[in-house]
Amino acid sequence: MKTGNPQLDGQGNLKHFLTIEGLSRALLVELLDRAEGFLGVTQQAVKKVPLCRGKVVANLFFETSTRTRTTFELAAKRLSADVLNLNISTSATAKGETLLDTLRNLEAMQVDMFVVRHASSGAAHFIAAHAAPHVSVINAGDGRYSHPTQGMLDMFTIRRHKGDFANLRVAIVGDILHSRVARSQILALNTLGTAEVRVIGPRTLIPAFAEEALGVRVFHDLREGIRDVDVIIMLRLQRERMTNALLPSEHEYFHLYGLTEERLAAADPEAIVMHPGPINRGVEIESQVADGPRSVILEQVTNGIAIRMAVMSMCIGTQNIAMQADIKTDGEPNG
């Protein structure tokens, strides 16, 4: 049950991308560097490279998503892969087909990669453990556990603005308890050597033992928590938190934890503001900040495609190309 890292093949190459946990700093940096190369591709007139030509990628979404699924689809298409989109709502699985039956059927269609989103923590690990040996699994979000491509696209965005992580203070604000995004960001930030990672929220939304279990400093006061930070990451607040006694109202939440121009002043003057989207204007962030000069929220979306191209090509790319030069020519990769 704990034999090695299930994400790496025998040679230590990325086979699945399930979580940031257990991946080395060098591998994360390689991923970021590779994404840097793909960012050029996404800005070209002809936005395609043939690294995954002939491969079949299945987007297997057991939980609905627009943005994440679309960026995965675009990423796969820009790598010249064929893409299947399967929205398997829970009602479809309720027809009787089990998760494993669904997988077996797709494997029989010679799918090379599953991009999986599922409501249960650990679902991506489970699917990777039971997939055929030739299939790669990318986690597009499982329960509260992990959303590693989101985590890495955020690292990519931070690096483009701030360079090195060693001197950075990063604050993540909001519902940490239920957030796979926060868990992935925290793991990535710590692996990349970030000086200080803070989480800010009411006690009901911060996991027990967060400091030692996640490696963060916990703040319950927004003003105190964002003082002098270089990066502020706001998390989306789900409406259902109000109905199960975790929060009293959106009003009080915004009053205490909503990011406003005035509060932003406590952060470093160069601080950037991030949000994994979709944003709730007036709940966790006011529009002036979301649309303001410090916001890099839309950039995150663009970067998401480059990161997902990098992850997919590392897992099922036809070869480990020496990156940038080849990609920019849009030519056949050598050999």
- State how far the alpha carbon of 223 is from the alpha carbons of 229, 256, 257, in Å: 11, 9, 9
Token pair 């190309």 in the structure block, residue: 321
98 belongs to the binding site for other proteins (CB under 8 A): yes
Interaction of residue 92 with other proteins, rule CB under 8 A:
no
Tell me whether residue 227 is annotated as binding. Answer: no
Piece of 98-106, 266-274, 298-306, 309-317 that binds other proteins (CB under 8 A): 98-106
Q: Are 175 and 102 in contact (CB under 8 A)?
A: no
Please report how close the Cβ of residue 180 comes to other proteins at its closest, in angstroms: 6
| Count of residues making up the chain | 335
Distance CA 37, CA 210 (A): 35
Q: Is 278 annotated as a binding residue?
A: yes
Query: 69 or 125, CB closer to other proteins?
Result: 125
Task: Tell me if 208 contacts other proteins by CB under 8 A.
Answer: yes
- Nearest distance, CB of residue 57 and other proteins, angstroms: 21
Region of residue 319 (phi > 0: left; psi between -120 and 50: alpha; otherwise: beta): beta
Instruction: For 171, list phi and psi in degrees, rounded to 5.
Output: -115, 130
- C-alpha radius of gyration, the chain, whole number: 20
DSSP string, 233-286: EEPPPPGGGGTTTS-S-HHHHHHHH-B-HHHHTTS-TT-EEE--S---BTTTB-
Among 121, 190, 238, 288, binds other proteins (CB under 8 A): 121
Q: Please tell me whether 68 is known to bind a ligand.
A: yes
Token duo for residue 71: 């960026």
Alpha-carbon distance of 45 to 48, in angstroms, equals: 9
The nearer residue to other proteins, 159 or 180, going by C-beta atoms, is 180
Which parts of 230-289 interact with other proteins (CB under 8 A)?
Answer: none
Query: Binding residue for other proteins (CB under 8 A) from 120, 190, 238, 318?
Result: 120
Helix (H, G, I), strand (E, B) or coil at 44: coil
CA distance linking residue 267 with residue 303, whole number of Å:
24
3 is in an annotated binding site: no
Considering only the stretches 28-36, 94-102, 292-300, 326-334, report the one whose residues sit in contact with other proteins under the rule CB under 8 A.
94-102
Catalytic residues: 67-68, 95, 117, 147
Is residue 209 at the binding interface for other proteins, with CB under 8 A as the rule?
Answer: yes
Check the annotation: does 150 bind a ligand.
yes
Cα–Cα distance between 49 and 76 in angstroms, integer? 10
> Sign (positive/negative) of CA torsion 145, 149, 154, 158?
positive
Q: Minimum distance from CB of 332 to other proteins (Å)?
A: 40
The nearer residue to other proteins, 207 or 258, going by C-beta atoms, is 207
Distance CA 262, CA 282 (A): 14
Could you say whether residue 45 binds other proteins (CB under 8 A)?
no
- Rule CB under 8 A: is residue 2 a binding residue for other proteins? yes
180 lies in the site for other proteins, by CB under 8 A: yes
Bridge partners of residue 138, in order along the sequence: 17, 115
Asked if residue 1 binds other proteins (CB under 8 A), the reply is: yes
Instruction: Single out the segment in contact with other proteins by CB under 8 A; choices: 24-32, 125-133, 248-256, 263-271.
Output: 125-133
Determine if residue 2 is labeled as part of a ligand binding site: no
Q: Identify the residue among 212, 249, 269, 293 touching other proteins (CB under 8 A).
A: 212
CA angle 324, 328, 329 (to 5 degrees): 125
Determine whether the annotation assigns residue 67 to a binding site. Answer: yes
Q: Where is the binding site for L-aspartate, in residues?
A: 95, 180, 236
Binding residues (CB under 8 A) for other proteins: these are 1-2, 6, 21, 98-100, 118, 120-123, 125-126, 130, 142-146, 180, 183, 207-210, 212-214
Q: Where is the binding site for carbamoyl phosphate, in residues?
A: 67-68, 117, 147, 150, 277-278
